[in-house]
Chain A
Amino acid sequence: MSDNIPNTDQDRSDRTGDHKNSRRTFFKNIGLVGAAAAAGGAAIYSGFKYEESKPNHDFVKVLTADNRLVEVPRSQIKDIKVDLTRLQLAGREGLKGHRWVMVIDLSKCRNARKCIAACQSAHHLRPYEYHINTLIMQESENTAPYYMPKPCQHCDNPPCVAVCPVNATFKRQDGVVLIDNERCIGCRFCIAACPYSARMFHWEEPLMAESDQGKTYNIELNVPQRKGTISKCLFSSDRIREGKLPYCVSTCPNGVYYFGDENQDAVTNGTTKETHRLSELLRDNAGYHLMADLGTKPRVYYLPPKNRLFEFKDKRDKNKETT
């Protein structure tokens, strides 16, 4: 017990020491708690922010410009408005350094009409509205009939471009002849001037007028199509801008079409994907122009319909109707 008494001071001191000690601890603790609270708060806040920004597993499948199917979070999707002026300027300028050219091998065409369907679906046309049509040809009575796909010839001396009063149809530096349906006044002088009957007119509301409403006009696809204006084959300018073969060329099941660049002297077959020298292809197969005597200088070449590997089924009929 006595120990207790002398120890009192000690105790006191201890106590005071204790006191001091506990105050320090207290403050220390307070500091810790404060720091912890701040950290926790920050953590909670950042966690909250994180939660807020975190992808919520709602993905959307998107086809990229180079044709890859990718997934992106819905929250990352932003609407962009395609700029008409930019499309128009690029579309009128064309692809520098190229001279597009098509070769059609008549010995292979068996009138599958797949090219026509692909073209019509890409350009939102009715079954009897043609950018490209396959015709049953026969030069004279005793010569053999054959099928001839007939797109726009993209002439280097285009009669249609010459007569257009408002520069709605024009020739690009890469050889393509396009039509701007934002400009076309619908006078149809180009239809009258074209010796290949390659142009069509929208006599009524176009097939997909309603669903295409509000879309930005793409001059290289000529969609949306417009009532009261001209439409025509575009050499699939939207596809060649992406480094792809035209719709008709890549859809043909019979290897009829070659497409490529005259500057590179190379054309690729749309079916076999084989690339050939343009000059050799034309030389070896006696390539020719359709109605070359008219002086229109077409960019489409034909290879003669020799050695056909199939029988000609259609009756020869000058004016065949649709069925």
Chain B
Amino acid sequence: MTMASEVNTGFLNDKRLDSIAADILRPVGISKGFLIWMGFLGISLLGCMYAYYLQWDKGLIVTGLRDYVSWGMYIANFVFFVATSLVGMLISSVLGLIGFKWVKPIARIAEIIAVAFAAIAGLVIVLDMGRPERLPYVFMYGRIQSPILWDVTVVTTYLVLSTLLYFIPLIPDLAISKGKIGHTPKWLQATYEILSVKWNHTSEQYKILLKSVRILLILIIPTAFAIHTVTSWLFAVTLRPGWDSTIFGPYFLTGAFVAGSAAVVILMYFVRTNYKLDNYLTFHHFDMMGKLLVLVSIVYVYFNINEYLVPAYKLKTAEAIHLHDLFVGDYALMFWSVQLLGVVIPIILLLFRFFRKPLPMLIISMVVLVASWFKRLLIVVPTQENPFLPKQFVPKAWMVYHPTVIETAITILPILLAVIIITLLVKLFPVIPIWEIAEEQAEKHDQTQE
């Protein structure tokens, strides 16, 4: 979204609009590849749902969780989901409001990720609950003192705002597209008809659209800050070594931008290559995203240094045990892999123009995204393995955390759901804003003529 206060609707009569729309709408619809991919996701989802059925039936005993480590992959997954969804705010709001024009074609991709991950984040928590059928109790008996209540409130708000930020700029596109998707099934055309809410491209309508989007872009910034700050407080409000930290809010927030930017690059790459949209998602966009990833990673390194170096200098008893586990103990391999592969090496590589090309960017982003998932696990688990008081007179399996296969399948379940939402949104609706690109090109054309 640009922040011009008015839209010159002249682009609607420009013949370039037709070719742009044709490019972007070509992949829209149901193809063989789409069906195979959805079939694969669906079958995998069924497998994961069976795993969840086992957990429902037998209890959380089917996981590797026990009284000492009682939060594991599920909670790490939740933090990862909230983190990844934040990128919608970063790209659309922060960069858009500042006036960076290059974010235009990727803003919707970022919003799709935001919507998909924010929508599923709530479910991730439910998968972790011992009594999921009592979820309504959170609303019936909710205590405002508990950070869980704050989290429920802000994640829901963020989901609503993100959905609106995805949908409102999509309305003109749906109106443009509805006559041009004859190759798609009837129900999809009917959906376009309904969702385009009788949009007829008057400048008054565009004025309202710009105004409402601007309000949303501003509102979503504090909301996004809130969701991840509050999520970090689930840990930071406790007295436990490794969690008892005052910088957890910004530390989580900056980490979120790293994970989210990587997710956007991955989706950009698949859209570009599968839908042959090279002209819209160009090397320039990958180059800029590469630079953005370097920037957010450097900020994240700064917070990591603060988070680990300061307690490591003091070595308070409990903190020392925790840090020993991370630096040279049981979690050392994971810790250093995550720090080096997930943050340090990407920063170094992405300083070179070669690595900011699409394919190297894809590979780097995949590593960064996986590393950021494990980074959440490193935040959640080792702290619980080192309580203040000794772990004694319990079975050996209770001492350390060993995730089970069932637990892994249940962890994958929400990831599959998010990928399904992303696939549907990317495949069935224009993934690049047609009207904004057309308007920009018309503007450029006018300027060159002048």
Contacts and interface: CB of A to CB of B under 8 A. Distances in A.
Contact of B130 (A135, A188, A195): A188
Interface in A158-180: 159, 162-167
Interface stretch (B107-115, B163-171, B371-379, B394-402): B394-402
A311 B152 CA distance: 54
B71 A188 contact: yes
Interface of A: 128, 130, 133-137, 150, 159, 162-167, 183-189, 191-193, 195-197, 199-205, 227-229, 291, 294, 296, 317-322
Contact of B59 (A205, A296, A319): A205
Contacts of A130: 393-394
Contacts of B140: 166
B134 interface: yes
B67 A191 contact: yes
B395 A128 contact: yes
Interface of B: 58-61, 63, 65-68, 70-71, 125, 128-132, 134-135, 137-138, 140-143, 145-149, 234-235, 237-240, 384, 387-396, 398-399
B138 A165 contact: yes
Contact of B148 (A165, A191, A228): A165
A183 B146 contact: no
B71 A166 contact: no
A166 B59 contact: no
Nearest to A163: B146
Nearest to A181: B131
A189 B399 contact: no
B137 A187 contact: no
B121 to A, nearest CB: 15
A201 B391 contact: no
Contacts of A150: 389
B143 A164 contact: yes
A184 B410 CA distance: 22
7 contacts: A150-B389, A183-B134, A185-B129, A185-B137, A195-B388, A203-B60, A319-B391
Given A192-B384, A193-B238, A201 B70 contact: yes
A204 B66 CA distance: 10
B240 A195 contact: yes
A130 to B, nearest CB: 8
Closest 4 CB pairs of A and B: A186-B130, A228-B130, A204-B61, A165-B148
Contacts of B128: 187-188
Give the one of A166, A186, A294 with max B CB within 10 A.
Answer: A166
A187 B237 CA distance: 16
A288 to B, nearest CB: 15
A318 B388 CA distance: 11
B129 A187 contact: yes
Contact of B234 (A167, A184, A189): A189
